[in-house]
A and B are shown apart, each in its own frame.
Chain A
Amino acid sequence: MKVHEYQARALLQQAGIPVPPSQVIESPEQAAKAFRAIGAETVVVKAQVHAGGRGKAGYVKLVQSPNEAQREAARMFAQPMVSPQTGPAGVKVRRILMAQAVDIAREYYVGIVVDRARRVPVLMASAEGGVEIEEVAARNPDAIRKAWFDPHLGLLPFQAHALAAALGLQGHRRKAGAETMLRLARLFLEKDCSLAEINPLVVTTTGELLAIDAKFNFDDNALFRHPEIEELFDASEENPAELQAREHNLNYIALEGNIGCLVNGAGLAMATMDIIKLHGGRPANFLDVGGSVTPEGAVEAFRIILADPSVKAVLVNIFGGIARCDVIADALVTAAKEVGFQVPVVVRLEGTNVEQARHKLREAAIPQLRPAADLTDAARQVCAAV
């Protein structure tokens, strides 16, 4: 689960990591008052959306007066932000963070993830702050210093001090830098983060160490023990079809193509998208109905797939194990009645109770249904149908 910058900044503050004074506004009218409350000469106005590319899109602006703050805020609230990460329609801005602008002397990067290969958390630090860590990793991997730490012991003080020294931090700033890393590591472990990143962490011209921007992702599987984090979820940032699917325990991801997919199992669902592409088609979605699919769940899956106007054909690929083919066949019959098929639906069933399922589908004689002999045949048929 992703959170907004202003929410991440509040978490840093709670953890005792210094950030510049700020205000969050939800309408342009609040901008002037917020400007005065911050009480700085220059204030940075930042749209709060999950998508990146805000700076280049003109949604991070420096302002020097209440009027200017209001004008920029009004523009950001009025026009959806379009960046390479948002798609052409852009995303609507619902909140804006206003923060004191600081004079930066040096920028650093500090971030924590779980290292999958070593199976422990790793803190990464770099003196090349303000740019994406992936970019640094690709261009100059030696610029990234790493410290792996035990989840029970946490990041140890000597590790943090060594990293702060490696970044070139001196004197009291080295101590402050190490303290920031220790607090970030504690936060990462306490809140079950999958990413905790401060970028940039800056030294100001007056020698202060401050976190300017932060990004946090949380482990969805651990949200049950962090209700305070779950509360930060912003449904307006999510694709509505993906949200609807989640409510029905379906795993759905919208894509750009025109062939809808309904599959059981995540690996098979990915493989089904791949075989569509291999035969010249383009998948409209990833959809895993799960191992213990109910008829209601499968009907809902059809509803979601067929609500996408770009879908010109559907491929149903089920390998029955615990999920039974006859349950899927019943769902197909119900969906044909309740949702209605306006496009061809190619059906490939194999595995548990497949004969019963085939019999049921023959009986139902749904005109749009096209049985496939095997997976290759299914891919060919569905690609030919669009």
Chain B
Amino acid sequence: MSILVDGQTRVICQGITGKAGAFHTAQCLEYGTRIVGGCTPGKGGTKSAHGLPVFDTVHEAVAAVGADVSMIFVPAAAAAEAAMEAADAGIRLVVLITEGIPTLDMVRARKFLDDRGTKLIGPNCPGIITPGACKIGIMPGYIHKPPAAGTKNVGIISRSGTLTYEAVWQCSSRGYAQTTCVGIGGDPVKGLNFIELLDLFEADPDTHAILMIGEIGGTDEEQAAAHIRQHVRKPVIAFIAGQTAPPGKRMGHAGAIISGGEGTAQSKIAALRAAGITVSDSPATLGEAVARVLG
């Protein structure tokens, strides 16, 4: 089992004829993802480089090829609108890869999506992968290990990109498979967050432990810690990046900033430990930490 996406998921790519969209669509197809078409306004009726049908609008794409998930590579200035178009066309899950979207655009888009019951992953994220079945995003597929009979499986939730690959690699190298890995993104206003995903993994019978990777900025991890204490019975392992980050400086991600004394790694680690969660001090020992918990 997995969460949110699996081998049956039908995906379209908004921005399929752009450089990044075309490249990653090819990579996802190669991994086995069922990408069924794409959208680029003005190029409707043509075929993409992958031989997929291209539509002017998401509504047309959904009507013609029946997609339920959209992967978005539209440039930042128009990306939030692209997400809203997908929601309006009835797309169930939007995976918004684009980095650099204005925060207030995301405030508006998130409300629009919520009103239509569309879930969002991202923005500024690597995407979501259910190993062996469906890769929607820019993560390298080969580092992941699909669950098989007898494997112990981890579900991963992360605000980071490459640090997630690091965590996946450490798990795979030690023989632990992943049910689903979700990069929720590095922006201050985003879609699915730790709490919603923790609940999905808690309910997924094949997920045996949950690895969450947070970072400085905001209070999402503190809220997740309180939620885990009440509602999550599976073991949770955490890492928080940015213990050495100075206050007031944006550490690469738009959301990774300690401001007004809020959002420090220390506060997050303390909250997680108080909730009985295993927090790894080192990013190099995530696999070990999983091994300690799962045996």
Residues on A facing B (Cβ under 8 Å):
114, 116-117, 119-121, 133-134, 137-138, 150-152, 189, 192, 194, 219-222, 224-225, 251, 253, 255, 263-278, 283, 286, 288, 291, 319-322, 350-352, 374-376, 379
Contacts and interface: CB of A to CB of B under 8 A. Distances in A.
B159 interface: yes
B22 interface: no
Given A221-B76, A291-B161, A253 B169 contact: no
A221 B143 contact: no
A219 B143 contact: no
A264 B213 CA distance: 17
A313 B215 CA distance: 26
B186 interface: yes
Given A134-B261, A273-B245, A268 B163 contact: yes
A271 B107 contact: no
Given A119-B189, A270-B215, A322-B138, A265 B102 contact: no
A79 B287 CA distance: 54
B28 to A, nearest CB: 13
19 contacts: A114-B188, A117-B223, A133-B260, A137-B260, A192-B103, A253-B249, A268-B160, A268-B162, A269-B252, A270-B216, A273-B242, A273-B243, A274-B243, A274-B244, A275-B282, A286-B252, A320-B140, A321-B161, A350-B169
Given A253-B249, A270-B241, A321-B139, A114 B223 contact: no
B67 to A, nearest CB: 24
Nearest to B246: A255
Given A270-B216, A291-B138, 20 more contacts: A114-B104, A116-B188, A116-B220, A192-B103, A219-B102, A221-B76, A265-B252, A266-B161, A266-B251, A270-B256, A273-B242, A273-B245, A275-B284, A277-B244, A286-B249, A286-B251, A291-B162, A375-B282, A376-B282, A376-B285
Interface string B139-182: 11001000000000000001111111110010000000000000
B110 interface: yes
A267 B102 CA distance: 20
A374 B284 contact: yes
Interface string B82-108: 000000000000000000111111111
Contacts of A375: 166, 282-284
B108 A151 contact: yes
Contacts of A276: 244
B158 A116 contact: no
Contact of B159 (A116, A150, A267, A278): A267
Contacts of B106: 119
A359 B196 CA distance: 44
Contact of B251 (A137, A269, A374): A269
A277 B243 contact: yes
Contacts of B111: 119-120, 150-151
B239 interface: yes
Q: Which 6 A-B pairs have the closest CB atoms?
A: A267-B160, A266-B252, A265-B162, A267-B163, A222-B102, A271-B283
Contacts of B267: none
A255, A272, A322, A375 — most chain B CB neighbours (10 Å): A322
Nearest to B285: A376
B192 to A, nearest CB: 12
B107 A151 contact: yes
Given A116-B255, A291-B138, A350-B169, A219 B104 contact: yes
Interface in B215-267: 215-220, 223, 239, 241-246, 249, 251-256, 260-261, 265
Interface residues of B, number: 61
Contacts of A114: 103-104, 107, 188-189
A321 B167 CA distance: 13
B281 interface: yes
Given A222-B103, A350-B169, A264 B162 contact: yes
Contacts of A268: 160-163, 166, 241, 283
Contacts of B254: 220-221
Interface of B: 76-77, 100-108, 110-111, 126, 138-140, 143, 158-166, 169, 186, 188-189, 213, 215-220, 223, 239, 241-246, 249, 251-256, 260-261, 265, 281-285
B189 A273 contact: no
B261 A119 contact: no
A94 B122 CA distance: 41
A288 B217 CA distance: 18
A322 B252 contact: no
Nearest to B245: A270
Contacts of B255: 116
A253 B247 CA distance: 12
Nearest to B189: A119
A267 B169 contact: no
A225 B103 CA distance: 13
A271 B218 contact: no
Given A222-B102, A222-B103, A267-B161, A152 B241 contact: no
Nearest to A282: B244
A352 B143 CA distance: 9
Nearest to B142: A352
A379 B103 contact: no
A189 B76 CA distance: 18
Given A114-B107, A222-B104, A265 B163 contact: yes
A251, A265, A272 — most chain B CB neighbours (10 Å): A265
B140 A271 contact: no
Nearest to A134: B260
Given A117-B223, A119-B110, A275-B284, A270 B251 contact: yes
B178 to A, nearest CB: 15
Nearest to A274: B243
A266, A269, A277 — most chain B CB neighbours (10 Å): A266
A137, A138, A271, A321 — most chain B CB neighbours (10 Å): A271
B284 A267 contact: no
